[in-house]
Structure 1
Amino acid sequence: MHADMKIALTKPFILRCFLVSLFLSLPFLLLHLLSPQQQPRHSVTTNDLRIRPGYSSYEAYIQRQLNKTLNPKLRKIWTTRDWNRKISVFASFFEELKEKKLLDNTSKALCIGARVGQEVEALRRIGVVDSVGMDLVPYPPLVVKGDFHNQPFGNDTFDFEFSNVFDHALYPQQFVAEIERTLRPNGVCVLHVALSRRADKYSANDLYSVQPLIELFKHSSLLHVRSVDGFGLDTEVAFRKKLEPPHHL
């Protein structure tokens, strides 16, 4: 058989092998692409809200956050030297919100990114006893395990949600969407954010005005913006989730 004929016969065989291989690998490729952790999430980058680069994957982002949360030196500080000091400051913030009728003792409250739960303990000490925190690492009985990009709670669960870790959200739109999903209609969300300084090396975004927050809270109304001194955070922004429109028969 001539060499040219051998080559001509070999080409279809190679092509068939390639197609069979592609067909067999297609399900695994689709599974990889469609897995939840590979799905592209909604992200927002504007002049006043910038996502920090450098995360090769969502797993890499989570691991970096865990590096802070599980840092033994930090956890020791949070549970000893800083414990009562932070509870006192959080309690004063929450008392002011009670005076503004944005929080009361009957509120079911969630603290997002609560670490070891000083803000939860502060809420309980001022009478808001139905309070719980959420973080990547649980700290029973004050803090349960959860990712703020995908809260482990049902729709319309809480009357009040508080967070001072907005800057740690890699996907701010998803962070806010989960708050609005789990917040009851007429419920209140209060965020403490930094507008004038960039301090935390673990932050995933930088916020330069409240305008991006107003745009992200699509189902809520802005209640107030005020200056605070909250452990490196300088601004308090409060929203109220809008009431659901009446259902027409």
Structure 2
Amino acid sequence: MKETINQSKLSKPKTFFLSLIILSLFFLIFLSLQPHKSMQKPISDLKIRPGYTSYDNYIHHQLQKTTNPNLRKIWTSTDWHRKIRVFTQFFNRLKHEKLLTNSSKALCVGARVGQEVEALKRVGVNDSVGLDLVPYPPNVIKGDFHHQPFDDETFDFEFSNVFDHALYPDKFVGEIQRTLKPGGICALHVAVSRRSDKYSANDLYSIEPLKELFDGSDLVRSRKVDGFGLDTEVVFRKRKFDVKNY
């Protein structure tokens, strides 16, 4: 009888530990079945402006500027030659630095009426096109920069001065990196030291968020510029292979 009692006492710890192991396994299985939640921390120095109730609401707001007849008249008359002249200076410097060549296939993201596209052609980069919500033939075709209508690795060079208009900066940058060829160049003009206009969807307070977003590219350089309300030029080169995948 005494031996039976001792065996009963010994079996209780074994049963307890076995139950604990089974419960732990069930808990791990439960966790594995839960939806994945991103652990990415918010990017500091980049703030998305509130107020957009839907993506359609955001697009409608952007179109209010792009389709404004008074602005389009200014862009195609008073501003036309002035902006082409300034963009030409920017692109000539990039050519001098061997970051842009006459053989480059180029895209201007958020080009409106295409002054930057015209400037590229005037410096010899003839295979150039612009992308905007509202087309302006022959230099600008219709498209959303959050979802570029181009195949992977299409362009050697991409330029944009509308980063501040991106509601989803990660998608904006992701599409640039997707459509750039390995070794391709992206040049952005952004506002860092001043607040952008009322149609901007985000505010940038340093270039650090850009370096984080361009995770498949290397920073070539940044410099101060006077680019129609934008004060900083940032240039990235897409890596020829992504070290994260090796």
Same topology, TM > 0.5: yes
- Could you tell me how far 1:46 is from its partner in structure 2? 3.4
Rounded Cα–Cα distance in structure 2 between residues aligned with 1:179 and 1:60: 24
Question: Residue 23 of structure 1 aligns with which residue?
Answer: none
SS in 1 for 2:226: strand
Rounded Cα–Cα distance in structure 1 between residues aligned with 2:174 and 2:122: 29
SS in 1 for 2:78: coil
Question: Residue 227 of structure 2 aligns with which residue?
Answer: 230
Superposition map of 1:79-228 within 5 A: 79-228=76-225
> Any stretches of 5+ residues in structure 1 without a counterpart?
1-42
Question: Residue 12 of structure 1 aligns with which residue?
Answer: none
Superposition map of 1:13-92 within 5 A: 45-92=42-89
- Could you tell me how far 1:245 is from its partner in structure 2? 6.2
TM-score (normalised: structure 1)? 0.80
Read off the aligned partner of 1:158 and give its amino acid letter.
Answer: F
Task: Say whether the 8 Å CA contact 1:44–1:171 is kept in structure 2.
Answer: no
Rounded Cα–Cα distance in structure 2 between residues aligned with 1:95 and 1:198: 28
Read off the aligned partner of 1:132 and give its amino acid letter.
Answer: V
Rounded Cα–Cα distance in structure 2 between residues aligned with 1:141 and 1:147: 17
Rounded Cα–Cα distance in structure 1 between residues aligned with 2:146 and 2:221: 25
- Could you tell me how far 1:156 is from its partner in structure 2? 0.2
Deviating 4+ runs (over 2 angstroms): 43-47
C-alpha spacing 1:245/1:78, structure 2 compared with 1 (3 Å): closer
Deviations 1:120-163 (A, max 9, x none): 00000110000000000000000000100000000000000000
Read off the aligned partner of 1:179 and give its amino acid letter.
Answer: I
Rounded Cα–Cα distance in structure 2 between residues aligned with 1:77 and 1:65: 17
Task: Say whether the 8 Å CA contact 2:164–2:196 is kept in structure 1.
Answer: no
Deviations 1:196-222 (A, max 9, x none): 111300000000000000000010000
Read off the aligned partner of 1:148 and give its amino acid letter.
Answer: F
Task: Say whether the 8 Å CA contact 2:44–2:209 is kept in structure 1.
Answer: no
Read off the aligned partner of 1:227 and give its amino acid letter.
Answer: K
Task: Say whether the 8 Å CA contact 2:216–2:242 is kept in structure 1.
Answer: no
Read off the aligned partner of 1:178 and give its amino acid letter.
Answer: E
Read off the aligned partner of 2:53 and give its amino acid letter.
Answer: S
- Could you tell me how far 1:47 is from its partner in structure 2? 3.2
SS in 2 for 1:186: strand
Rounded Cα–Cα distance in structure 1 between residues aligned with 2:197 and 2:119: 23
- Could you tell me how far 1:106 is from its partner in structure 2? 0.2
- Could you tell me how far 1:58 is from its partner in structure 2? 0.1
Identical columns (%): 69
- Could you tell me how far 1:45 is from its partner in structure 2? 4.7
Read off the aligned partner of 2:209 and give its amino acid letter.
Answer: P
> Any stretches of 5+ residues in structure 2 without a counterpart?
1-39
Question: Residue 19 of structure 1 aligns with which residue?
Answer: none
* Higher Cα radius of gyration: 2
Read off the aligned partner of 1:90 and give its amino acid letter.
Answer: F
Cα RMSD (Å): 1.4
- Could you tell me how far 1:44 is from its partner in structure 2? 8.2
Question: Residue 28 of structure 1 aligns with which residue?
Answer: none
Task: Say whether the 8 Å CA contact 2:158–2:185 is kept in structure 1.
Answer: yes
Task: Say whether the 8 Å CA contact 2:164–2:202 is kept in structure 1.
Answer: yes
SS in 1 for 2:84: helix
